[in-house]
Amino acid sequence: MFGKILIANRGEIACRVIATARRLGIATVAVYSEADAGARHTRLADEAWPIGPAPARQSYLSIEAILDVARRAGAEAIHPGYGFLSENAEFAEACARAGIVFIGPPAAAIRAMGSKAAAKALMERAGVPLVPGYHGEAQDLATLAAAAARIGYPVLIKASAGGGGKGMRVVERAADLAEALAGAQREAASSFGDDRVLIEKYLARPRHIEIQVFADTRGNIVSLFERDCSIQRRHQKIVEEAPAPGMDPARRQAMGEAAVAAARAVGYVGAGTVEFIAEGDAFYFMEMNTRLQVEHPVTEMVTGLDLVEWQIRVAAGEPLPLPPERLALRGHAIEARVYAEDPARDFLPSTGRLVHLRQPREVPGRVRVDTGVREGDAITPHYDPMIAKLIVWGEDRPAALRRLVAALGEYEVVGVRTNLGLLRAIAAHPAFAAGELDTGFIARHAAALLPAAEPAAVPAAVWAAAALAALRDQRAAITAAARSSGDPFSPWAETDAWRLNGDGYQDLHLRHGGGATLVLRSHPLPDGSVRLDLPDGPPVRAALEEDAEGGLRLVLDGVARRLSVARQGVEFTLFLAGHGEHTVRLEDPLAPPRAETAGSERVTAPIPGRVTRVLVRPGERVERNAPLVVIEAMKMELTLRAPVAGVIAAVSYGVDEMVEEGAELVTFAAPPSGPG
């Protein structure tokens, strides 16, 4: 067994590996970029070493920098996590040359499965069923267009050298192929350093099912059963579960045997995942991920195994800890990935500081949270925007689903947009409960899963909670000022809204989201509660109380609900039991009106990122929806298009320049004014 290992990664997977290493008595070395100085994984490890600037190309993807730290720190082995260098054959070979054990498969296996095209050719020779497609070496447009026509539209373009939805495009018709191909190749080159692609038939309602395999250096290979990863957005998984709903023993055995055969064909060692796409009674090989998967915790929950421990033991030369006959499934597990992204803006990543973060209470063997962040940390444009993975277990799928719904209800995040609303909607959807899963689930149920940003009616309890939170903060500020003034008993320090002639009251101007401003009149009552006059309903009596755990409860006309409040300036984010999450802004009626933003004659960066292509020049006339600029952020490529037809007046940034969110990238010339 190793005495010290280095984790060549960051975030939640680095923290995950550190936890197992600590349990095994293995010292850990973390590495970090300038953007990750002080990150959670650096605080958990026994040692933390800097490796370069924020861009991954200069830090987490720098083989030289990581090996230099490993040598200087005395690490005997390197765990690559997933992403970054985890499937890089050159890195595995460099570790071997340096006399450091790579906790992963042999470089030859990585190479064999690293090219999707080569892997499919290998599987074809091994008799594993494949989706109809083109996996050849020729990459010119004519060859690929002919292949797409032969396969039949719609087709799926995929990066040959990688996964995670990078370099992937669905093409519905021949006229769209050239642009989709160019975008996929750029994204593939940026993410994997290889712009080669393959083309496959796009299946209408497929399920994405993968098999976890494990192999040791002695020729033993086992299947650790399947995971269903069909719930996806942007071709990336967000909900995974094990076992797959509706999976019968015969198919489980057939898919497991195919996965083991695939691993054996490349001389595999360590943890790997063989991914299949299934439709009807058929299943087809897609690819093999030669690393630990993001969703590995669901397999751990239903098998009772620690897959990171298995990786470390196999890399140290030990045999697989258990033979096939001792492997069994127990209960059901579901994982939900919590991302900093905005589902209302086509899942664009969201950056910012986590000013408030409350995660579900962990229950060993029942509720687990794998995360790499803490309250106060920043989600930056440099890396994947995952906040955490929530994993739950139940005796059966309905029990696991109930636990998932409850745990998602405990999540509170303020400071960035998140997909928590989407995850809650998925977990509560009848089709999900019925196990009606396929990769088009979110698109098909979009109306129910992605509701309008502004609700038709804001519940009275939300207005009351916002008003009481504002009054509480106001009272605390006035009391603190009075105590420090030297005259704590001044009548100006009173907060009872007393008036000489008439009832005491205070008006609060509140706005929910992008809705209209509402005026609530609050009347303090002798017992510390308030009477609130609502414009669209009868008055209510409201108060804030402490609950048994030191939190807050809103008591509205005698009905109590758990409440949590996070404040950013004049904005209150409310987490109210039974009513979900709401953001309410306290308006100043005497403040000057906010300036209106510019119209559609400009294009701004929706998120911070790097400009990778500029497709227009000043003076050029473009049609509406024409591509203008391509930016890359958080492992994703975004093409910004013309909001109107017109003439380009200016292009403000060039290729490789970094832009902040809201930066003006392209402006249009003002149209000529008409006569008169």
Asked if 437 and 373 count as a contact pair (C-beta separation under 8 A), the reply is no
| Residue partners of 378: CB distance under 8 A and separation at least 6 | 351, 352, 353, 354
Please compute Rg for the chain using Cα positions: 28
Nearest-angstrom CA–CA distance, 610 and 631: 5
Nearest-angstrom CA–CA distance, 493 and 62: 60
499 among known catalytic residues? no
**SS3 sequence of 523-590:** EECCCCCEEEECCCCCCEEEEEEECCCCCEEEEECCEEEEEEEEEECCEEEEEECCCEEEEEEEECCC
Asked if 21 and 44 count as a contact pair (C-beta separation under 8 A), the reply is no
84's tokens: 């970054």
Torsion, CA 94, CA 95, CA 99, CA 101, rounded to 10 = -160
Please choose, from the candidates 664, 648, 517, 515, the residue with its C-alpha nearest in 3D space to the C-alpha of residue 598. 664
Nearest-angstrom CA–CA distance, 352 and 379: 5
Give residue 528's Cα distance to chain centre.
43
275's tokens: 């991914």
Please choose, from the candidates 333, 387, 426, 409, the residue with its C-alpha nearest in 3D space to the C-alpha of residue 578. 409
What residue type is 645 in one-letter code?
A
What residue type is 64 in one-letter code?
E
Please report the DSSP string for 175-228 in residue order.
GGHHHHHHHHHHHHHHHHS---EEEEEPPSS-EEEEEEEEE-TTS-EEEEEEEE
Nearest-angstrom CA–CA distance, 79 and 244: 29
SS3 state at 154: coil
What residue type is 214 in one-letter code?
F
Please choose, from the candidates 430, 417, 425, 432, the residue with its C-alpha nearest in 3D space to the C-alpha of residue 446. 425
Which one of the listed residues 186, 291, 368, 417 is annotated catalytic? Answer: 291
Q: Which residues pair with 610 in a beta bridge?
A: 632, 658
Please report the DSSP string for 596-624 in residue order.
PPP-SSEEE-SSSEEEEEE---TT-EE-T
Where b means 16+ CB within 10 Å and e means fewer, 84-101 reads bbbbbbebbbbbeeeebb
Strand (E) or helix (H) holding 636: strand 636-641
DSSP state of 446: H
Residue 203 has a CB neighbour count (10 Å cut-off) of 20
Strand (E) or helix (H) holding 123: helix 116-125
Asked if 158 and 151 count as a contact pair (C-beta separation under 8 A), the reply is no
Q: Nearest 5°: phi and psi at 86? A: -65, -30
Q: Which residues are catalytic?
A: 291
